[in-house]
Amino acid sequence: MSLRTLEGFKFSTLKTPVHLLDPRTKFLLVIAVLVPALLFANIYVMIALLLSQVPLLFVGKVARRWALSLRAGVFLSALIFVVNLFTGSYLSAIALTLRFLVLLTSFSLFFMTTSPDDLGLALDRIGAVRWLSRRWLGYPNALSFTFTTAVRLVPTLAVDAQTVVDAQRSRGLELDKGNLLKRVRNYIPILIPLLLIAIRRSLELAEALESRGFPGKEGRTSLFQLKLRPVDYSIIAVSLAIIGISFWVYFHYKIPVL
Amino acid sequence: MAHAPREIILAKNLGFQYVGARRAAIEGIDLSIRENEFILLTGPSGCGKTSLCRCLNGLIPNFYQGEWTGELLVDGLSVTTQLTSELSRRVGYVFQNPENQLFALTVEKDIAFGPENLGLSREEIRQRVDEAMNVTGTLPLKDLAPYELSGGQQQRVALAGVLAMKPSVIVLDEPTSFLDPRTAEEVMRATDDLRRELGLTIVVVEHRLDLVARYAERIVVMDAGKIVADGDLEETLDEKFDLLEGLGVGVPRVSLLWTMLRRDGLVSGKVPTHVESAASSLAGMMNQ
Amino acid sequence: MITLEKVSFTYRSGQRALQEIDLNLEGGDFIAIMGENGAGKTTLAKHLNGLLKPSQGRVLVDGEDTRKVSVARLSRKVGLVFQNPDHLLFSETVKDEVAFGLKNFGFAPEVVHNQVMRTLEALGLSEYAETSPFLLSGGERKRVALAAILATEPDYLILDEPTIGQDYQQKERLRNFILQLYSQGKAVVMITHDVEFVAESNPKVILLSQGRIVAQGPADSVLSKDELVKKASLVRPQMSRLFGELTKYGLPSDVVDVHRARILLEEKLSEAKVRVAQNS
Ligand SMILES: Nc1ncnc2c1ncn2[C@@H]1O[C@H](COP(=O)(O)OP(=O)(O)O)[C@@H](O)[C@H]1O
Ligand SMILES: Nc1ncnc2c1ncn2[C@@H]1O[C@H](COP(=O)(O)OP(=O)(O)O)[C@@H](O)[C@H]1O
Ligand SMILES: [Mg+2]
Ligand SMILES: [Mg+2]
C-alpha cells in the first residue's frame, strides 16, 4: 500500500496546461486551497474546495493516479473520522475528514504535475535558499540540486526495494511470521541491502556528477528559465484574492460546521 | 606530408594506490595515446582498468584519495594539478551502469547539465545540446525521463551528455554490460561514428573483444595493475594469442578457431579478428 | 516438474510482460532463456517460485499450483538467483549469508553447518567463510549469492543473467559449475543474452521476445536462424556467422560452437590439402 500512495505523488512527464504552469503559480494555488481549508472547518467549504480541484485533475491527466492515492488514503480518512467522532460531533468529524482529503488532493495535484527540475529552478530563484545553500554546502545550487536528486532517486529505489524483498523471499524469508520482535527483525535482511544500495548509487552518482564538471565555477548557467505567462498572472491574482478574502471572512464572521 | 596525429594522453610510470588498499591498483603504466585513436582496454576483473580510466579524467586523484606516483598529461595538462571540472571539458566518461549517471528528469535537461556547469551562455548551451542530440539520435527522446528509457537509449543519452562538453577524449567503461547484443552493437557503432565524424579519441573497456574488434585498431591489455600488451589489435591477437588466452581475455571465437587450425597445420597466416576476414581466408583455401 | 500452462502476466501499471507461455521443466533439463532487454525474462523467472502469480493460466511446481503455496515453501524446491548480489547480501560473514536460507527452512544447526561448509567448498569460497561479503570483489559476491541459494539444494536452479559484467575466466568457471549441477540431475535454467556463452554450453534455448516464446530448440539450430535471433535483439554467434558464409563448400549452417567448427573445418581443409597436393 505504501508504494501505491507514493504513486499519487510521483511526477509524470506530461505536457498538459497544468504541467506547464509555473511552479510558483502552482505553489500559490496550493496555499490558496490550504488557507480556507485550515481556517474554516465547514463542510460546504470543503466540498467546494474539493470540487474546484477536480477539473484541474482532469486537465492535468492525473485523475486516475489521484484516485489510486485516494484509495490508499481511505484507511487514514477512516481513522481521522473515527478519532474525531470520539472528540467532537459527527459533523465536525465529516468536515475534518473532508479537510484531509482536500489537503491530500491539493498536494498530490501539485507533485504530480510539477517537475522536480522546475521546482529546483524555482528554489534557486529564492535568494535565501541560495544564501543558505552557499553557507552550508559551499555553493548556491547545492540545496535545490540535492532536492531534485532525491526526487529523481525515489522511483529507482522503489524498484530496488521490491527486488530486495523478492530476493529475500526467494531465500525463505517470511516477513509476516512470528511475534512482534521477530517481525521487526525480519526487516533487517531488507533494510541492510537497501541501505547499501542507496549508498552505492549515491557514490556512483557523485562520481558521474564530478565527471560532468559539477558544481562548476560560480557562474553556473541554466538552459531553462522559469517564465510567468499571462495565465500564471491571472491564476496568481485569483489565488491571492482567495487568500485575502478567506482571512477577511475569518476575522469578521464565524463560520459554523454546516 | 600528412601531420602525425597529436599525442593526447601521455602516462609515464603512472601508479596509484587507494587509501587503505593493500597494494597498488595500477603501477608502472607507460601509455601514449594519439588523437583519433580507438583503443580497446581489456584484462581480467580487478586488473585496474577502471582505475586507469579514473586517472584519465581526474577522478583519481580528485575524487578518490590515495597515493599517486608518476606523471599523466591529458591534452598537455598535468592531471594532478587540474580540477576534475577542468578535465571534464577534455575527457568525457561513460559509466557501466546507465541508471546512475543521468541526473535530470528529462533527456534534454540531462544533456544540458554539463554545459550549464561550464557556465556557458544560453545560446551556446542550446546549440551544443541540439548538436549532441542530433549526432547520437536522441532527439526523439528529449522530453522523456531517464527511467522511461531502455538501457541502450540511456547509454546514448549518457554519450550525448558527455559530447555536449565537447571533449577530445571519451572513455567508456564497460558501457554495454547491461545491454542485449544488438543494442550493445548499436552503442559501439554510434561511438565509432562519433570518432569518425568529430575526430574524437575513444577508449573502451570491454571483456567481449568481438564486440569492438571491428572498430578498435589498438588493444591495451592489463593484468594485476600493469600493462602486459599494447599494440595493433590484429598483430597482438596474432603474436600474443597465448598470453591473452592465459589471462582469460575473451578473444573472438574466430581468432580462437583460427589458432587451433593453425596449430593443426591446416591454415597459415595472420589470425583474423572478425568473421568476414576469417570467412574470406577460409573460402580462399577451400577454393583451391 | 514445473509446468507453465498458458501463462500471461500484466503488471499493475498495465504493462503486459508475458503472453500465453507454455513451458515444461524437469530434472536433467538445461535451458537458456534468451531475449532482448525487457522481453519478460525476469518476470518469467519470478513466476517459477511464486513471487509473481499469473494473471491468466497457471504454474504448477511438482503438481502444486503456485497460487496456493507460499513462496517460502516453493523456494525450497526452486532456487532463484537474482542478477545483482547487492540485492540480497546482508550478513556479517559469508558463512552466515549462506546459512540464512537453511535457517529459514528450519534445518537443524548441525545440518546447516555441514551444508554451508560443503557449498562453500564446492564454489571455492571456503577461505572467505569468516569474511564479510562486502569486502569481496564483484565476481566473488556473485558466487556467494549463488552459494546462498545452492546450499538449500533446490531441485530447480534459476540463474538470472549470471554472466553480466563477468570476465571470460569467471564465465568459464560458472559454465563448468552449471554443467556439473545438471549432470547431477538438477534442472538448470539460465537467463542470459550472452550468445557466445550459450553457444559453448549447448543448452536447450527458449527465445523470448515481447513476452512471447518465439522459438525453442537446441542452441545450434535456434541461434543460427538469423530472423529469430534478430527478433530477440540478439546476434548470431561468431561461428554461426562464419559458417553461414561457407555453406557453398558443403558445410552445415547450424554450427555455433568452436569445437564442432574445428572438427568440420579440419576435415574440409584436409581434403583441400590433398587436392592441392594431387594437382601439383
Ligand atoms: N574505491 C576503491 N577503493 C579501494 N580499492 C579499490 C577501489 N576501486 C578499486 N579498487 C581496487 O583496485 C583494484 C583494481 O580495480 P579496478 O580498477 O576496478 O579493476 P577493473 O576495472 O579492471 O575490474 C582492485 O583490486 C580493486 O579492489
Ligand atoms: N515492477 C514492474 N512494474 C511494471 N512493469 C514492469 C515491472 N518490472 C518489469 N516491467 C516491465 O515488464 C517488461 C518485462 O520486464 P522484465 O521481465 O524485467 O524483462 P527482462 O528481464 O527480459 O529484461 C518490461 O517492459 C518492463 O518494463
Ligand atoms: Mg572496472
Ligand atoms: Mg531481467
Predicted pLDDT at A139:
73
User: Residues C188-239: pLDDT tens digits?
Assistant: 999 999 999 999 998 999 999 999 999 999 999 999 999 999 999 999 999 9
Is the ipTM beyond the 0.90 threshold? yes
Instruction: Say if ligand 1 is within 6 A of residue B60 CB.
Output: no
Summarize the confidence of residues C92-96 as an average pLDDT.
Answer: 96
Q: Tell me if A152 and B103 make a contact (CB, 8 A cut-off).
A: yes
User: Residues A78-114: pLDDT tens digits?
Assistant: 888 888 888 778 888 888 889 989 998 998 888 888 8
User: Residues B158-204: pLDDT tens digits?
Assistant: 999 999 999 999 999 999 988 899 989 999 999 999 999 999 999 99
**Which of chain C's residues have a Cβ under 8 Å away from the Cβ of A161?**
none
User: Residues C268-279: pLDDT tens digits?
Assistant: 888 888 888 888
Predicted pLDDT at B3:
63
Atom of ligand 2 nearest to the CA of C46: 17
Q: Which of B45, B152, B282 sits opposite C137 (nearest CB)?
A: B45
What does the DSSP 8-state code read for residue C235?
A: -
Instruction: Say if ligand 2 is within 6 A of residue C17 CB.
Output: yes
Helix (H, G, I), strand (E, B) or coil at C119: helix
User: Residues B69-90: pLDDT tens digits?
Assistant: 999 999 989 998 888 878 888 9
Assign domain C2-233 to its CATH superfamily.
P-loop containing nucleotide triphosphate hydrolases (3.40.50.300)
Choice between A77 and C90, residue whose per-residue pLDDT is larger: C90
Distance from CA of A167 to the nearest CA of C (A): 6
Task: Answer for the pair C76, C157: CB distance below 8 angstroms, yes or no.
Answer: no
Interface size B-C, in CB pairs within 8 Å, comes to 118
Closest alpha carbon to C187 in C68, C20, C9, C30: C30
Centroid of ligand 4 to alpha carbon of C82 (angstroms): 9
Q: Which of A13, A148, A204 sits opposite B145 (nearest CB)?
A: A13
Q: What is the mean pLDDT of chain B?
A: 92
CATH code 3.40.50.300 region(s) in chain C:
2-233
Its pTM stands at 0.87
Choice between C2 and A40, residue whose per-residue pLDDT is larger: C2
* CATH architecture classification, B7-251: 3-Layer(aba) Sandwich (3.40)
> Does A161 touch chain C if contact means CB atoms closer than 8 Å?
no
Instruction: Say if ligand 2 is within 6 A of residue C40 CB.
Output: yes
User: Residues B231-272: pLDDT tens digits?
Assistant: 999 999 999 999 999 998 989 999 999 999 999 899 988 999
What does the DSSP 8-state code read for residue B185?
A: H
pLDDT band at C108; cut points 50, 70, 90:
very high
> Does C15 touch chain B if contact means CB atoms closer than 8 Å?
no
Site of grid cell 545483482: C84
Centroid of ligand 1 to alpha carbon of B88 (angstroms): 21
Question: Residue A233 pLDDT > 60, yes or no?
Answer: yes
User: Residues B6-18: pLDDT tens digits?
Assistant: 899 999 999 999 9
Instruction: Say if ligand 2 is within 6 A of residue C21 CB.
Output: no
> Does B152 touch chain A if contact means CB atoms closer than 8 Å?
no
> Does A169 touch chain C if contact means CB atoms closer than 8 Å?
yes
Closest alpha carbon to B170 in B28, B277, B35, B5: B35
Q: What are the extents of the domains in chain B?
A: 7-251, 252-288
Helix (H) or strand (E) holding B187: helix B181-198
Residues 90-109 of C with CB under 8 A from A: 90, 100-101, 104-105
Show which residues on chain A lie within 8 Å of chain B, measured between beta carbons.
11, 13, 15, 115-117, 148-149, 151-152, 155-156, 201, 204-225
Question: Residue B5 pLDDT > 90, yes or no?
Answer: no
**Which of chain A's residues have a Cβ under 8 Å away from the Cβ of B94?**
none
